[in-house]
Chain A
């Protein structure tokens, strides 16, 4: 859906998405890294299970909710990536204890 600019010289940051290695760039938010990854990163809503992707990218719509390092329902558009970060796509309601 999105491609990176050839002018982007920021350092690579390696994250894990559903256990698979993904290369992001320093300064990416989690949502940006996911959208740039080319992977299917659609979450499923807690109400009907409908698929969604980030909508606003500025912290207001909550359609970017994602599990980061084991903590569910984080706003991926507000969290910068970090080396070794573990991302899981959220399917439906948040699980208890995550």
Chain B
């Protein structure tokens, strides 16, 4: 059997799909190997923000990468719509992180100051706003809202529709999406990678590890490393309601369909099956204190998901020295960075090597250095 594919992407979530879509767009013969119906999928549990503010404390390169991703998202949305007819409902008119009470406001102001000090003349603005300033654009704010931070680059998107659009696009580009093919082993023989799956071997000249937290297990098979530190999060969502919220908030957004998503928790226990109602109660309580008129709205569903999270919170993009053609890509913000993955990372992989200017800072070699202080890859 000859070489099957130019590139095999392991992982069919938002990150793997975006890279594979980009590769398909560049004419690469590409396969996506994915798991099945029930598995840990951040792509269907996420909060769907395209979010810039507060990203990158401790790693300025991440700030720049995030800003680039946010700025090129519109190109991705346009391309997906043109190709598949699916409107992913991208809205980027700025987003708020709102605080309740003076303590939270003070902590947020401190964070904003630290961000500004780090980035210096940052190419984006993240600024504190008073409660009355926020109230002018967000009708219905409750009296406990003390203000918050605002960033004009922030936005949100319909992430499930993005997922569908990417998969429809994969098909249109002739990319083979191969579900129910968890990869148990990767070997390299005769200049090609051989991926062992329950339904046979898949061969490709290049391989991209885009399997989320499972990258930690896969990476050593090709001489790479991807130290992960996943966390669990819960989200509740309400029934559809008439539009009331003109901007997304970091923990509360109204989808284009009308539902209100309320997030989110950060927990170390990684069981995504059971729900902790006390946590939902805290989130519901904060939501109704932020917007008292939400109190009577019905919560119709709730779920938990496991965040894909490199150990220090920042993305990992790396290529193997020992096995040229093997790449690893994983990050928390697969929605925010989707355009980067579809355009930049796909281009680099098609060309055969990552560009140090753009993504050199994200090599996993950083973990080999002395343990760094934990940053704020995740707000």
Contacts and interface: CB of A to CB of B under 8 A. Distances in A.
Contacts of B276: none
B296 A95 contact: no
A38 to B, nearest CB: 29
Residue among A46, A92, A95, A96 with most chain B CB within 10 A: A96
B293 A97 contact: yes
Nearest to A92: B242
Contact of A46 (B140, B240, B294, B297): B240
Contacts of B242: 92-96
A23 to B, nearest CB: 29
The DSSP consensus for interface residues of chain B is loop
Contacts of B184: none
B244 interface: yes
A95 B244 CA distance: 9
A98 interface: yes
A94 B239 contact: yes
B87 to A, nearest CB: 15
A72 B242 CA distance: 12
A96 B240 contact: no
A94 B293 CA distance: 12
B241 interface: yes
A23 B165 CA distance: 51
Contacts of B293: 96-97
Given A46-B258, A93-B258, A98 B296 contact: yes
A17 to B, nearest CB: 21
A37 interface: no
Given A46-B258, A71-B296, A94 B240 contact: yes
B334 to A, nearest CB: 27
Interface string B135-154: 00000100000000000000
A47 interface: yes
B113 interface: no
B158 to A, nearest CB: 14
B296 A97 contact: yes
B132 interface: no
Contacts of B78: none
Interface in A65-98: 71-73, 92-98
A71 B258 CA distance: 18
A46 B239 contact: yes
B239 A73 contact: yes
Interface in A32-56: 46-47
B118 interface: no
Nearest to B240: A46
Interface in A5-24: none
Contacts of A98: 296
B83 interface: no
A73 B258 contact: no
B241 A95 contact: yes
Nearest to B260: A96
A96 B298 contact: no
Contact of A93 (B140, B240, B298): B240
A31 B242 CA distance: 24
A93 B239 CA distance: 9
Contacts of A72: 296
Contacts of B140: 96
A47 to B, nearest CB: 7
Contacts of B241: 93-96
A94 B241 CA distance: 5
Interface in B296-316: 296-298
Instruction: Across the A-B interface, give the 9 residue pairs with the lowest CB-CB distance, nearest first.
Output: A97-B293, A46-B240, A96-B244, A93-B240, A94-B241, A93-B258, A95-B242, A93-B242, A96-B293
Interface of A: 46-47, 71-73, 92-98
11 contacts: A46-B240, A46-B258, A72-B296, A92-B242, A93-B240, A93-B241, A94-B239, A95-B241, A95-B242, A96-B241, A98-B296
